[in-house]
Amino acid sequence: MNAPMHPGTLLQLTLPVRDLSQSENGNVLDIAHPILLERFYPRIADFNASGPLQIQAVETPCGAQPQVDVFRGRWPLETMRKIHSALPYGIAARILIRGPFGVGLTPLATPDLFFMLQELALASGAADGRLVIFKLFEAQNNPDEKRASSRIIKMLREQGLSVLLEDAICFTADAAFPPEHYQECTRLSLNVHHEDFLGLPEILTAVSLKDMIGGLDSKWRDPETPEYADAATLTRALTEVVRQNADEHVVVALHSHDTGFSTEAYAAAMDVACSQRQTFRPDVLPSGQSFAHINEVLHHLQGKNPTAQLTEKQETIVAEMSQALEEVRAMYQDYRIDTSVISGEERRRVKIPGGAVPSTVRLFIQPLADRLKISFEESKTLLLQHMEQAWIDLGKPHSVTPGAKFLGQTAYVKALREARAKAQDEALAHAELYRELPTELLVYWRGQMPAEPNADVFACLCDEYLKRKLPELLPEESYRPLHENLRENPTDKDSARQQLAQHGLSLSKEATQLIESEEVQQHLERLEQLDFYLSIPSSYRLHDEVHCVGPRMEVYEQQRQQFESEHNQKEEKLVKLFAAKSLDYKDTIGTYRRIESLLDHIGLRTQPIAGETESRVPQLQEEVQRILDLGVEVPSFDDAVLAGLLMAPSSNQRLDLSVQKLVFFPRDEFPQEWSHELFHDPGYQADSPYAPLALGAQAQEAELFWNKLAQTFYLNPDWTPSERLDSFYRELNAVQDPSVYEWLLSQKRMQKTPIPFS
């Protein structure tokens, strides 16, 4: 159980500390820094005890943070555990998840998504009485892409974890999307969360509007603000649909990045919510440049809403929390991206979310300038032009992860393709600029977008996808003519169905009618739910002495056995129904599903993006165990598996080198490079290749050496100690700098290496 909120309060604040780190420096800032653990998070209890306005939740490592943690030498789950230990009792930990992508950038198979969400919940204290709120969004507000996460959160709650769900509706301020658009998106999402999934418990606690771009405005700031961008209008609309479709306890929440509008927008939304007696939870911070500040928002409510005010003591506490946050921000000043290079107006016009500004600068604008040998400003102008056009061509996608990254990547590829065509004096049709996109982008852009895409561009994307995918889907030589026929109409499913039938890929009318009958569909829908539940291996569930033993585990095992029995009974029933029509159930349903799957590769993709993804966790568990057999230590087995899942999520990848680095040479220091001035060492390298390096630079060279050697050992698990020693000396003799050579030799002699040799 969690401590109650202050009696009668309608306003509950969330502190998006993690998003501040992403928006300012790409998640480099350590949100579990000792200063924050000692002087920021604990003060929340003092704040809540000092007045009616309450802080209800803190956003913990999520979004892109866990991946960056691995890059920077941190264990993501350890970061969560540290924050959990510092957060006062009764404060919720909020974890932002991207539908089937979890906290990564690759869609995950159901068992892998379950493993990820369970580990995040455990590390955040969900088994220790802390409420963990999974804030679930899907960039294009596709409710079917939320279904897997929603079900998994229900399963986690079923097994005793204190988890709930906040449904986030992605928002773009554009005339194409009036308030009614977001009301309908909310209704469809709530239908998914209210699904009767095997009788498991309800989990919805909040519905929020997620404005990553910062386009939400207010008539308080500008009386000419259109309704589609007005915070008060949208809050009123969201409140209406929540009250019609959810329990009365469900909270309305708001998340808006600051491009110059959010302070007044938050104030107007809070005023409307309070006037409607609707519990409201905005995302604000004491300081920083990414979100509206608590004091500034409340200043706009003075004289309008007496309940939305700070007491004097709360003002003092906010100032002290702000000071702690600013001290940590200052430590990472050199790693902060100058986000002002893309103005607020440009972000709103081109649809660049606040959290994507650093990556847009680092991953697209600067590399494009380097590739085309143009200035940063020229590159920025070119990229933003391509982004703005691509946003329209692709169906006005909500620019939220992963869509935001994909939009930038699409614009980058287009700009390079256009520049190469001009250099070769080649004339390309507009749609042809999209030909060279990576396959993962082709898959994504074929999904349902908020608006209609450009027909020529969409056809080009579909054709390019089929050109790459058909040899895998239909590899037989006899299907080669079918490949060409399908590509003639790459968006036409009806034509494709006829083409498949002409090549023997069809069912009889009687078989199709049976499958699509109401009785069979009801059985298949129930089987799908049972398959989903049973697809999670028992080994993924909680079994240790702290979290899930005794009666709770017995109940889970009994329920699983019950579902397995029902699954068998349903299949037996279907076998009889098909046999009555002289049809083999498994062969017929297998053919039907293959045809439907093939058709989903034509034109608009309707199946969830993770539908055919293979589970990765079992392979990672084997790889991690081989590492542990070398004698290294990690915080826990699952810490290493999760790190691997974040950095090497595909079945054709081995453990990422950054995970190897983390496993074999973990650092307890701040995440900056060792040559940073905070370590009192410039890390310079003299002009002479044989001059001694500065101490910090020696450490970097040594780290790279041991990392490379660790990777070699890992790829050769059968080597004897003698073979490992030979490998060490071969690598050592290749080191040119004598100071590094001596240091490495000394480490080996004193047995202070980060990897074992026997």
- Tell me: the pLDDT tens digits for 287-308? 988 899 999 999 888 877 666 7
Are β-strands 132-136 and 204-211 bridged in parallel, bridged antiparallel, or unpaired?
unpaired
The confidence band for 622, taking pLDDT boundaries of 50, 70 and 90, is confident
Q: For residue 239, what are the CA distances in angstroms to 5, 138, 248, 249?
A: 21, 20, 11, 12
The confidence band for 626, taking pLDDT boundaries of 50, 70 and 90, is confident
Q: Radius of gyration of the chain from Cα atoms?
A: 28
Instruction: Please answer whether residues 434 and 414 qualify as being in contact, where contact means their C-beta atoms are separated by less than 8 angstroms.
Output: yes
Q: What is the mean pLDDT of the chain?
A: 86
The confidence band for 230, taking pLDDT boundaries of 50, 70 and 90, is very high
Q: Is the dihedral of CA 463, 468, 472, 475 positive or negative?
A: positive
- Tell me: the pLDDT tens digits for 126-180? 999 999 999 999 999 999 999 999 999 999 998 889 999 999 999 999 999 999 9
Of 720 and 83, the structure prediction assigns the larger pLDDT to: 83
Q: What's the pTM value of the predicted model, to 2 decimals?
A: 0.86
Whole-angstrom distance, CA of residue 126 vs CA of residue 89: 12
Instruction: Please answer whether residues 161 and 546 qualify as being in contact, where contact means their C-beta atoms are separated by less than 8 angstroms.
Output: no
What local confidence, expressed as pLDDT, does residue 557 receive? 82
Main-chain dihedrals φ then ψ at residue 752, nearest 5 degrees: -110, 35
Exposure pattern of 287-320 as b/e (b: 16+ CB <10 Å)? bbebbbbbbebbebbeeebeebbbeeebbebbeb
Percent with pLDDT over 70 in the chain:
87
Whole-angstrom distance, CA of residue 182 vs CA of residue 184: 5
Instruction: Please report the DSSP string for 171-200 in residue order.
Output: ----TTS-HHHHHHHHHHHHHHHT---TTP
Please enumerate in sequence order all residues whose Cβ is within 8 A of that of 244, keeping only pairs 6 or more positions apart, or say none: none
**Sheet order of strands, 92-97 included:** 12-15, 54-59, 92-97, 132-136, 163-170, 204-211, 251-256, 280-282
Q: How many CB atoms are located within 10 Å of the residue 587 CB? A: 11
Burial class (CB in 10 A: 0-12, 13-18, 19+), 175: exposed
Phi-psi region of 664 (alpha: psi -120 to 50; beta: other; left: phi over 0): alpha
Residue in 241, 218, 274, 273 with CA at minimum distance from that of residue 167: 241
H or E element that contains 93: strand 92-97
- Tell me: the pLDDT tens digits for 193-206? 999 999 999 999 99
Mean predicted confidence (pLDDT) in 675-682: 31
Whether residue 545 is predicted with pLDDT greater than 60 in this model: the reply is: no
